[in-house]
Structure 1
Amino acid sequence: MCEDNRGGLGRRALFVTGAAAALTLGSVSFASAADGNQDDGLQESRTVRGTLPPGSPDFVYVPVEVPAGVREIKVAYTYDRPSVPAGTTGNALDIGIFDERGTELGGRGFRGWSGGARTEFFLRADEATPGYLPGPVREGTWHIALGPYTVAPQGLSYEITITLTYGEPGEAAEPVYPPDRAKGRGRAWYRGDCHLHSWYSDGRRTPAEIGALARAAGLDFINSSEHNTHSAHAHWSDVAGDDLLVMLGEEVTTRNGHVVALGTDPGTFVDWRYRARDNRFGRFARQIRRAGGLVVPAHPHATCVGCNWKFGFGEADAVEVWNGPYTPDDEVALADWDSMLVASVRDGRDWIPAMGSSDAHRDPDAVGRPQTVVLADDLTRRAIQEGIRAGRSYVAESAKVELSFGASGGRGEHAGIGERLRVDRDTPVTVRLEVTGAPRCTVRFVTDQGVLHTSPPLPVSGSGVVEWRTTPSYAAYVRAELRHEAAAGPVPGALAAFTNPIFLGRPVD
């Protein structure tokens, strides 16, 4: 059976969910199935059509009245993609679903999200489409969630078909999650990539394929970070091993920027349905921390719609300065982060460490390019997070690049990356960087004044030692950059690696 229900704005209830404005359309009913006597395997379908105008709310909900006795719910959708003038955004419509527990902010009823990566999905007790959570299809009002990411001037016309299959539910499997630790080497430098996407959101690789690529890239740890879903968490246990720590998280993808929830407890879902103007991000940043995770704004100066970070950095534990192949927006992010270091010195407050991750989705995206190299007490979730939070890390384009960076005073004092060399302000300080795996790269030492020392290019062997002398009164901190040969005149070459800073001098009370 199929009905044509018009789901346009003529039948609507506009309300505010405590965050972004949302729109609820008229209900889709399967009333003929209410007697509950359907044959096992019987299917019924309903179709909804409508048009969303430019300026539609961020989220549009289609209520679906699900009767008792349903084994599986399946949703398929299409929408039009009219041609638009150059410089004008076209149509893009995301989709997900909430069960009978509702759509309240916080995600109690959340059952899955695929954004714009899929045209159909299903859920049942024993299985679900990647991006969605298996579980019983209980009686009640479910909601299909539409996200009109961008809408063309002509409007966005859509069609949704909901199919219910009746029968006894399958048996749900108990989720198995990867362990919180791998074998490790004690206190050592560990390499990781904390921003990756599999087919459980908009990636094209399986967890097994990502694990193999991570090992080939010389990584010791990775972090699962699917867009707006934790559905992958139960699918990484077979990938983890003594040689690879798999942490669990999410890329919380809002309309005002993306944030990686890094290393949360298994099964943690973080809602994304708010903008900076809604003043809700702090609530979810605290949720990430309560779940044992780190709050890491991702690609803060990316140019895609909704990707630029608008929430400020007051809640950040670290910031992803380098995302994927090095591009101009990474250069802007690096400069912006450096300005935040200067502000932290000026105001005598905590500083925010920098990270780098691949954000790899599919071929030819390289897992581990770049990678964050962390000094940690062991290869465990907690130890890696502590190293990241403390800034004991550097970022490298590959496992071929190795750095050793330190600063020494005149009486044997020493500090490494992320640490403070506690000497008087006029004490002579020697900064030393040892490099391997960076042929023809140039070393730059960057301080709160800017670049104060640039080395000649390293030899083709890629190895070398660069030293520079200064005082805390002249440089409040020093960080190191490795740059490839410049492409054009004074423009610096792409990064091969960079470090978090070493702070010089005694802290200001």
Structure 2
Amino acid sequence: MCEDDHAGLGRRALFVTGAAAALTLGSVTFASGADDHRGTQTRTVRGTLPPGSPDYVYVPVEVPSGVREIKVSYTYEKPSVPAGTPGNALDIGIFDERGTDLGGRGFRGWSGGARTEFFIRTDEATPGYVPGPVRAGTWHIVLGPYTVAPQGLPYELTITLTYGEPGEAVRPVYPPERAKGRGRAWYRGDCHLHSWHSDGRRTPAEIAALARAAGLDFINSSDHNTHTSHPHWAGAAGDDLLIMLGEEVTTRNGHVVALGTDPGTFVDWRYRTRDNRFGRFARRIREAGGLVVPAHPHATCVGCNWKFGFGEADVIEVWNGPYTPDDEVALADWDSTLVASARSGSRSWIPAMGNSDAHRDPDPVGGPQTVVLADDLTRTAIQEGLRAGRSYVAESKNVSLTFGVSGGRARHAGIGERLEVDPDTPVTVRLEAKGAPRCTIRFVTDQGVLLTTGPLPVSGTGTAEWHTTPANAAYVRAELRHETAAGPLPGALAAFTNPIFLGR
């Protein structure tokens, strides 16, 4: 075993790469190969990242020919820090000899902080990493100092090369883009889920079983910064469950779900708002057939708060997992976008959705879930329903809604649609709810909450009607709220709908 030391490399000795927030350290080199092209070689390198380190630090590794497998393990120190001060957290991934250019042509895997080691070879790789040949050239281990303690972040990397004949490559098989649907109908789905290919603890098969138990018709894979789960979903799909493929693009300025991209699509994450690059990767998602969905926009974890704006959003994830105050803020923020669209007379508005963001037990898959009116149970039809806002969000399969408006020569409009009538035309708003015991119904417009009913009976079934005009309400949407424990704040959501717009 050979050892190297990065500790003596000061910030002035680091080489700045093409990205402003990335630096490259000195190379780790190996001999030209084991004498008999079998056996292993190992190198260990150590260093310390100071506070204020760039987002990504690259460690070049010169890989000789004849390598069958590369294995990397790492450790880092976690010293005590004062209360309220972030401690050390170090992510890891790797790029192959094709380079680290933004866009990810050389991307071979990312595990964030979920694993302490990984391997890559032709026939297999650690979940989160792309199997394939270990070709000769300069590979780069990428370290992501997520947070750095005031004392600095001492780390140790161990790289092991195993020589020999490569295994046989495995041809990926992906899940179908169609399941057995019911024609035009309401379909239930959860589009933000994590498997053991990132920081989840469940296999794709386990997630699919939980999705079926939760009454879901479709799901979307969304592992952090990697697409390697895509071929592992084929065996979990079936006539009763559509599995779409995607990624949670996890930047340092917020997360975005790439929803329903083409199989094998990778979307890079190595940029911040100040780099002015998000538009490029939003286009990448759409070019791959996906939707751009900012996730948990007001989450309080480091780097989770969405800072790229909603100009590129197709849908906004307003409700993420168990309902919390940051979801309430996201709901209010989204409602403000509806007000702006209504007041400007724009026909363009951004629909909302809700997802579980489930990682491990006891996180419930399908809590919440988005219920979409789609022409069939296909990737394209589900995406069209989401993009059009023909959907509502419910806390579980037990809750269902029927929401619509009518007025003016028996005209009718449903969720995500517009009732095109004159400003003074009387309009009737009606909601039917099931599975929401003791919940209140609220009708929300561009002026705020204009109707709140008494609680539904313990059966959870009931209706509410309200009369208005387009002059009084540019749109109306519905909420089901649980009883509030105390204070002026409303109770947690049991369900909410996308709006119905009123007027021409």
Q: TM-score, normalised by structure 2?
A: 0.98
In structure 2, the partner of 1:474 is 472
Letter in 2 for 1:24: T
In structure 2, the partner of 1:421 is 419
In structure 2, the partner of 1:337 is 334
In structure 2, the partner of 1:358 is 356
In structure 1, the partner of 2:405 is 407
Aligned-pair identity in percent equals 83
Cα 1:476/1:199, change in 2 over 3 Å: same
Q: Which runs of 5+ in 1 are unaligned?
A: none
Letter in 1 for 2:21: A
Letter in 2 for 1:455: T
Identify which of 181, 206, 210 aligns with 2:207: 210
Residue 491 of structure 1 deviates from its aligned partner by: 1.2
Residue 8 of structure 1 deviates from its aligned partner by: 5.0
In structure 1, the partner of 2:5 is 5
Identify which of 114, 136, 156 aligns with 1:117: 114
C-alpha distance in structure 2 between counterparts of 1:68 and 1:5, whole Å: 25
Are 1:244 and 2:241 counterparts?
yes
Is the 2:17–2:24 Cα contact (8 Å) retained in structure 1?
Answer: no
Is the 2:443–2:477 Cα contact (8 Å) retained in structure 1?
Answer: yes
Is the 1:65–1:140 Cα contact (8 Å) retained in structure 2?
Answer: yes
C-alpha distance in structure 1 between counterparts of 2:20 and 2:86, whole Å: 21
Give the secondary structure class of the aligned counterpart of 1:195.
Answer: strand
Counterparts of 1:156-195 in structure 2, within 5 Å, are 156-195=153-192
Give the secondary structure class of the aligned counterpart of 1:182.
Answer: coil
Are 1:85 and 2:82 counterparts?
yes
Are 1:263 and 2:260 counterparts?
yes
Is the 2:351–2:386 Cα contact (8 Å) retained in structure 1?
Answer: yes
C-alpha distance in structure 1 between counterparts of 2:503 and 2:25, whole Å: 62
Letter in 2 for 1:156: L
Q: Deviations over 1:41-72 (max 9, x none)?
A: x0110001000000000000000000000000
C-alpha distance in structure 2 between counterparts of 1:353 and 1:190, whole Å: 17
In structure 2, the partner of 1:14 is 15
In structure 2, the partner of 1:455 is 453
In structure 2, the partner of 1:487 is 485
Give the secondary structure class of the aligned counterpart of 1:288.
Answer: helix
Cα 1:267/1:463, change in 2 over 3 Å: same
Cα 1:323/1:83, change in 2 over 3 Å: same
Is the 1:183–1:243 Cα contact (8 Å) retained in structure 2?
Answer: yes
C-alpha distance in structure 2 between counterparts of 1:266 and 1:359, whole Å: 21
Give the secondary structure class of the aligned counterpart of 2:47.
Answer: strand
Query: Which runs of 4 or more aligned residues in structure 1 lie more than 4 Å from their structure 2 counterparts after TM superposition?
Result: none
Are 1:74 and 2:40 counterparts?
no
Are 1:383 and 2:384 counterparts?
no
In structure 2, the partner of 1:46 is 43
Q: How many residue pairs end up in the alignment?
A: 502
Is the 2:319–2:354 Cα contact (8 Å) retained in structure 1?
Answer: yes
C-alpha distance in structure 2 between counterparts of 1:307 and 1:428, whole Å: 44
Q: Which runs of 5+ in 2 are unaligned?
A: none
C-alpha distance in structure 2 between counterparts of 1:8 and 1:334, whole Å: 49
Counterparts of 1:27-66 in structure 2, within 5 Å, are 27-30=27-30, 32=31, 34=32, 37-40=35-38, 42-66=39-63
Is the 1:256–1:308 Cα contact (8 Å) retained in structure 2?
Answer: yes
Q: TM-score, normalised by structure 1?
A: 0.97
Q: Deviations over 1:400-444 (max 9, x none)?
A: 000000000031000000000000000000000000000000000
Identify which of 360, 372, 393 aligns with 1:374: 372
Letter in 2 for 1:200: H
Residue 345 of structure 1 deviates from its aligned partner by: 1.1
Give the secondary structure class of the aligned counterpart of 1:399.
Answer: coil
Counterparts of 1:310-349 in structure 2, within 5 Å, are 310-349=307-346
Letter in 2 for 1:124: R
C-alpha distance in structure 2 between counterparts of 1:150 and 1:293, whole Å: 31
Q: Deviations over 1:88-143 (max 9, x none)?
A: 00000000000000000000000000000000000000000000000000000000
C-alpha distance in structure 2 between counterparts of 1:430 and 1:256, whole Å: 43
C-alpha distance in structure 2 between counterparts of 1:469 and 1:307, whole Å: 41
Letter in 1 for 2:142: A
Residue 502 of structure 1 deviates from its aligned partner by: 0.2
Cα 1:78/1:214, change in 2 over 3 Å: same
Residue 249 of structure 1 deviates from its aligned partner by: 0.2
Is the 1:20–1:275 Cα contact (8 Å) retained in structure 2?
Answer: no
Residue 36 of structure 1 deviates from its aligned partner by: 6.2
Residue 37 of structure 1 deviates from its aligned partner by: 4.1
Residue 487 of structure 1 deviates from its aligned partner by: 1.4
